[in-house]
Structure 1
Amino acid sequence: MTEARYKIVFDGEPMPGVAMDTVKENLARLFKSDPSKIDGLFGGRSVALKRDLPEEEADKYLSALQRAGANVRKEHDRAAELSLVATDDHPDPNAVAAAEATTTDVMSCPKCGHEQPKSAECQACGVIIEKYLARQAQLAEESAPQKAAAVAASATTETASPYAPPQAQVGEQLPEFGELKVLSTTGRIGRVRYLGWSMGLLLAFLPIGALIAGSMAVSTTLSGLLVIAACVALMVVSLFIGVQRIHDMGWSGWLWLLNLVPVVGSVFALLMLFMPGTAGPNRYGPPPPPNSRAVIVLAWLILLVPILGIVAAVSIPAYQDYLNAEMGQSAGIDQPAAIEGEAAE
C-alpha cells in the first residue's frame, strides 16, 4: 500500500491571542518572502501551503507554523495519494514481461552504452565500471549544492501569483529567546531581570545624586534643574523596564499607568514582582533569555535593601541611646570634681 500523504491548509486566521501583524511578520520570516506576498494568504479563503507530505514532515510543518501564530491544520492529500506508480501489490505488467523474457544476464556500459554479458570491465571502451560509477556519484554530490542554489535563484526571479503558497522550505525556526533592549517598550523581561535592572538603575543614579548634592553649593537653580532632569530620566527608564515586565505576563504595556493610581498602584506593583510570565512565546515575542549571574546578584541586592533599612531603623536609635548614656555617665563623674574645686577656693 502507498504511504498516506498530507497537506497543510491555512484559512487566513491567526492563532487565538496572536495579533495579525505578528503572524504576517513571522510567516514572512519563515518563508523568506516579501510581506506583500504574504498578505495574499489572508484573503479569507483556504490555501494549501504545502502538499504531498508524509505524516512526520507534515507534523513538523504544522508545529512550526502554529508556533509562528498561523491557525493551520493537517488534511489528507487525496490527489497525491492517487498515484500510478507500481507497487508490490500491483506490479508493472511491462516490467514483469521484460523480466520473464530475459534469459541471460546482460548489462550496458554506463559510459559508452555497449551491451555485453555482466563483467567488471567494458569490452568496448575498457572502463572499470565500479570505479566509473563511484566517480560519477562523487561528482553528483559535489554539484548538488550548486544546482540547488541555481534553482533557488531562478525561483526568486519568477513572478509568482499573490495567492500562490510560498515555495520555500520551513527550515528556519522562530528565535528561542528574545533580544534584550533596556531603552525600549518592546520585548519581554522576567521577574529576576526586572529586579536586577531596577537595582542597576538605582546604582547608576548614585553618582548623579552626588553631583546634584555638590551643585547645591554652587547654585540652587542649577541643582534644581539637575534634580528635575534626573527624575525625568529615572521615570522614563523605569517605564521602559516596567512595560517589558508587563509584556512578559502577556498584558498590554498601558497597564503600567496603574502604578500611578493610589492603592491600586501598590497592588499592581506586587503583581509585577511576583506574577510569573508566560512559558513560551506570546503576542509580544519570544521568552527572554536566561538570567546572567550579574542580574541574579543585582536582584538579591535590591531584595536586601528593605532588610538593611529595617536593621538600620532599629540599630541607629539604639546606638544613639547608648552614646547618650555614655555621655551622661562621663558628665556625672566630672561634676563632683568641679564642685570640690569651687569649695577649695
Structure 2
Amino acid sequence: MTDGATGPVGLAVASPDEPLGDQPGTGADKSIVGRSPGQLAWRRLKRDRTAWASGIALAFFALIALAAPLIERLYGKGPLDRFTDKLDRNGNPLGYLGGISGEHWLGIQPRLGRDILIQIVYGMRTSLIVALTAALLTIVLGVVIGIVAGYLGGKVDAVLSWLTDLTLAFPFYIFCFAFVPIAVAQRYGPTDQEASWFRPMLLVIVFVLFNWTYSARLVRGQVLTLREREFVEAARASGARVGHVLFKQLLPNLWAPILVTFSLNVPALITAEAALSFLGIGILEPTPDLGRLISDSVTYIRDDPAFTLTGGITLFALVLAFNLFGDSLRDALDPKSDR
C-alpha cells in the first residue's frame, strides 16, 4: 500500500506542496564549489600545526633581519661598537653568563667586547640575504636548464645532462677553498681592504654554480612526463612557439615542485654559508655573520659557554624552521597526502 507520504517500500517522498530543494541528499541545499590545486594545498597547509609554528618562526626571523637598523637604533648599540670596559684583563666578559645584563641582553663578545645580541641580529640578516638571493638565482637557472633539456631532448638534453653530471662531480668545499682566495686575490691586493659586498656576492656566485643541478634534474624529470600531454600537443598544433610552450604551458604545471625545492634549498644554503664562514673563507670582519660568530666562540667554550650556545641555537632554530616549513609545504602540495 502507498499513501501520499510514503512510497511503495516505505521511503518518504516529497509532497507536491513541498519544495524539492528542502529534502536532504538532493544537493540543492548547498552549492558545490570547485577548488583549484592551489586552494586545496592552501587548505591543507592551514590545517598543519607544524606549518603554522614554523611559519610564525620564519616570519619572526625575517622581521628581525629586515628591522636590523631599527633594532640597532632602539637598542642603542651597533654591530661594530666595542665595550672593552666590560671585559677583564684576560678579555673575558665581566659578570655572569658572559656579561648578560639589562644593558647587554645576551652578553658581551670576549676579547672584542661587542654586543652579542646586535651581532646575532645583523648576522641573521647577512645569512638570510645570501641564502635567499642564491636560492632564487639557483631556482631560476635550474628551472630554465631543466625545462629546456626535458622538452627539447636529443642532443640538447644530452649536453645539459652531461653538464649537470660534471657539476655534481666537483667537491664543493674543496672548490671553495681553491676558488675564493684566488677570486679575492684577483681583485684586491695584499694590503687592500675588501668591500663589504664583495665576499657575500662571491658566495652567492659559488652557491649558484653548484646548486642549480638539483632543481634542473627535478624539473627535467617533470617535463619528460608532461611534454606528451594533450595540452602540449594542442599548443603545438595551434602553432605556438617553443618559448610559449615552455613558459606558458609547461611552467605553470611545475610550480609545486619548484616551491618545495626552493623552501628546502634555503636552509641548506644558510648552513653552507655558515660553514664557509666558520672555516674562514666566508664572510669576514667586520661584516657580522652567524658562522663566524660560532667560529669565534669555540675558543671560549670553556670560559664562556653561553657565547657558543647563543650563536649555535640561533642558527639551529633558523635552519630548523625552514626545514619544517619546507616539509609541511611538500605535504600540502602532495594530492595524495592525508595530513
TM range (shorter): under 0.3
TM-score (norm 2): 0.20
Q: Which has the higher contact order (CA 8 A, sep 6+)?
A: 2
Larger Rg: 1
Structure with the higher helix share, 1 or 2: 2
